[in-house]
Amino acid sequence: MKRTLLACLALLAGASADLRAGERDDRVDVLAADLASAVAADDASRQLAVLAGLRDSGSVASAEALVASYAAGRAGLEQARALATNSKYEFERKEEVLAIVELRRVQEPELEDLVLVLDQELGQLERQLHTALVDVERYEGACVRILDTTSLLFDDLEPAKRRKAERRMLDMATEDDAAAARFGALVVLGSVGSEEAAAALLKRLALLDRESTRLEQSLAKARDGLRRMEDRLQREPSDANRSGDRAQPYRAALREPTRWNAELSTQRVESSLAAEAVGCIIARSDEVDQEKLLSLVVARRRGASRRLQLDLFDVLRAADCALGTATLHAELAHEKDALFRAQAIDGLTVQRSTRLEPLLLEAYLEDPSPHVRSRAITALATLRSKAAIPRLIARFERESGRQRAELAQALTSLTGESFRERADLWKAWWDGVADSFAVPRSPQRPRDERTAEQRVGTTLFGIHTTSRSVVFLLDLSGSMRHAMIARTNPTDDPRVPPDLPLDGEDSRLDVAKRELIRALAAIPEGGSFNVIVYASGVHAWRDEMSVLTPETRAEAIAYLDRLSADGATNISGAFERAFELTGIPARGEWTDPAFDTLYLLSDGRPSIGTVLWTPDLTATVTDRNRLAGITIHTIGLSGAQDTVLLQGLAARNGGSFVAR
């Protein structure tokens, strides 16, 4: 974490210097440096003493230094959290690999050296996780203390100084070259900003939307050319790809799109923080300013792009006050777009609106859009509604596919019972307990579990769905030829010979095909499905979703049988193709997606495509999925899988993750 700390100290020094250019205050400089040192030493009492000194100075320079200090602390916190998450996932996965290798060691004593190596790596990961968790706690405490002091200082500043400090903070939030500085300033603005700051941030949201549109259009133009190059790379022998000679034009063509995707990822974070800040400012304002700002938000929604409308809905969700909730209810009442009805339900659920429950029961459980009905089902479970239980049970007769599973999950959360999609059993149970039953305050887990074989629906590697519209993304990269059983190279280290299947053993692709064929057999006739395969290139079995019949099932199985593994790992390209298949454009008219559930199978890390870095790829997929609402399940098929990516994609998109 030393590099993290040094980077944050550099951010603090640079931001402080930039903010106070032309208005130097040597004492504030010394206090800011002392604060950074106290944060590094995790000395809370010293931090409080320095913060008291900055507050007592009552100057604009002190306010600016506090904002810069918070931005630095927040950057450190985000990096520490990321490292803790990564270390936790890697530790858990390596533990599983070690357990497999230890079992094999009984029959293959030569694996003893590998056991020792894996055990040492586990020890290193455990120490790394501990350090990261300590840093998370340190930065969390520092950020809270700095933000509290900043709020107090802004309360103390005379109006002229406060306006000046706010303008400097807005400059930092919108113009600073360092994204971490902009992010930190946005959070602080949510705590101390005025009506003028909120109006400025609303303009910023519109500007970010225009910039995002420009970048997305540039990416769309570049994508077709990149896909043709990826297909050519896929057709070339693997050793030619590795030589780099023929891949050089592709890498050159990829530079700009990669940069555009990185900018888009940063803009998504910035838009989210700006929307949150505006909502927080509204919630803190007096009723007059609340009414002005909320009217402005509603007016800006009219005619805005879909993504900007989503951002403005986020503003309303963050405006946790009586007028904010009333405005969100008003928007919901006349909203014709299913996507925004769903977003409004989410927002009112977060705000725990007392007016929401009857609306959900009387209107939105009956909504024509399955997307809205899904949100209504989830919201009723979150609100811990007893009145919802008989209504949810009654919905079983009118729902199919994924919504039936969501009904069962909501009922289990509310009751602790586990009758799955058996409406008759739910009704019989409820008839016997309705008068005396009290909904537990916290979500419940089922008291018993049935095996996947006892369920109705599709199961892939243990992840179950009752969806009738499913897409499978199957990894065909070269490493899918490797063995499922780890021996000498469980992490697919390219410097070490791969673990190839021994006689009678299956490759990763063999196992994946067998599981996919079993899953296809469980999809009910009349449902819809598709298979997208990806390596260096990406190809869909059908251009559109295919209705499942005995004939299409047989054709898909024959297609799977013919597949072989070769090439790189283009996960971003696979998701691009999947989102095209939904029928929902990145911008434009919204409709219910062509499918509602997706399974991603992968044995490695992204190695080709426009987005390779795990945080950016997770953010890109999750942001695009805001317009689709697809449940994304992920399956890792080796010790080399990107556990952080697969866990993150599933967790942020309503799915489950398993490792094999």
Q: What is the spatial distance between Cα 51 and Cα 34, in angstroms, rounded to a whole number?
A: 10
pLDDT at residue 394 in the model? 95
In this prediction, residue 447 has a pLDDT band, given cuts at 50, 70 and 90, of low
Full DSSP string of 300-362? HHTT--HHHHHHHHHHHHH--SHHHHHHHHHHHHH---HHHHHHHHHHHHHTT-TTHHHHHHH
Q: What is the spatial distance between Cα 139 and Cα 149, in angstroms, rounded to a whole number?
A: 15
Backbone angles phi, psi at 654, to 5 degrees: 70, 15
Residue range 38-48: mean pLDDT, rounded: 92
First to last CA, the chain: 31
Report angle CA 582, 584, 589 to the nearest 5 degrees.
155
Q: Are strands 546-547 and 597-602 parallel, antiparallel or unpaired?
A: unpaired
Full DSSP string of 458-521? EEETTEEE--SEEEEEEE-SGGGGSBSS-SS-TT--TTS---PPPTTPPBHHHHHHHHHHHHHH
Q: What is the spatial distance between Cα 512 and Cα 529, in angstroms, rounded to a whole number?
A: 17
- Single-letter amino acid code for the residue at 435: D
- Of 596, 521, 598, the closest CA to residue 560 belongs to 521
Residue range 449-476: mean pLDDT, rounded: 75
**Percent share of the chain, pLDDT over 70:** 92
In this prediction, residue 232 has a pLDDT band, given cuts at 50, 70 and 90, of confident
Would you say 490 and 473 are in contact if contact means Cβ atoms under 8 Å apart?
no
Residue range 3-13: mean pLDDT, rounded: 49
Would you say 50 and 35 are in contact if contact means Cβ atoms under 8 Å apart?
yes
Model confidence at 19: pLDDT above 60: no
Residue 398: count other Cβ atoms within 10 Å of its Cβ. Answer: 11
- 592 φψ region: left (φ > 0), alpha (ψ -120 to 50), beta (else): beta
Token pair of 268, please? 């998504």
pLDDT at residue 223 in the model? 83
**Percent share of the chain, pLDDT over 90:** 57
pLDDT at residue 117 in the model? 87
245-275 residues labelled b (16+ CB within 10 A) or e (exposed): eebeebeeebeebbebbbebbbbbbbbbbbb
Q: Which of 10-24, 453-467, 476-490 has the lowest mean pLDDT?
A: 10-24
Where does 236-305 have alpha helices with state H? 238-243, 248-284, 287-301
Q: What is the spatial distance between Cα 534 and Cα 474, in angstroms, rounded to a whole number?
A: 6
User: Which residues, in sequence order, are CB contacts of 616 under 8 Å at separation 6+?
Assistant: 261, 262, 265
* pLDDT tens digits along 89-145: 889 888 888 888 888 888 888 888 888 988 999 999 999 999 999 999 999 999 999
pLDDT at residue 263 in the model? 92
pTM (predicted TM-score): 0.85
Token pair of 173, please? 């939030």
pLDDT at residue 357 in the model? 93
Q: What is the spatial distance between Cα 322 and Cα 37, in angstroms, rounded to a whole number?
A: 42
- Single-letter amino acid code for the residue at 614: T
Would you say 584 and 545 are in contact if contact means Cβ atoms under 8 Å apart?
no
Where does 20-158 have alpha helices with state H? 26-40, 44-57, 60-105, 112-156
Q: What is the spatial distance between Cα 658 and Cα 660, in angstroms, rounded to a whole number?
A: 7
User: Which residues, in sequence order, are CB contacts of 406 under 8 Å at separation 6+?
Assistant: 374, 377, 378
Is 547 strand, coil or helix? strand
Q: What is the spatial distance between Cα 157 and Cα 151, in angstroms, rounded to a whole number?
A: 10
Residue 148: count other Cβ atoms within 10 Å of its Cβ. Answer: 14
- 292 φψ region: left (φ > 0), alpha (ψ -120 to 50), beta (else): alpha
* pLDDT tens digits along 187-222: 999 999 999 999 999 999 999 999 999 998 998 888
Q: Are strands 657-659 and 631-636 parallel, antiparallel or unpaired?
A: parallel
- DSSP designation for 524: P
Model confidence at 155: pLDDT above 90: yes
* pLDDT tens digits along 574-609: 999 999 999 876 555 566 788 989 999 999 889 888
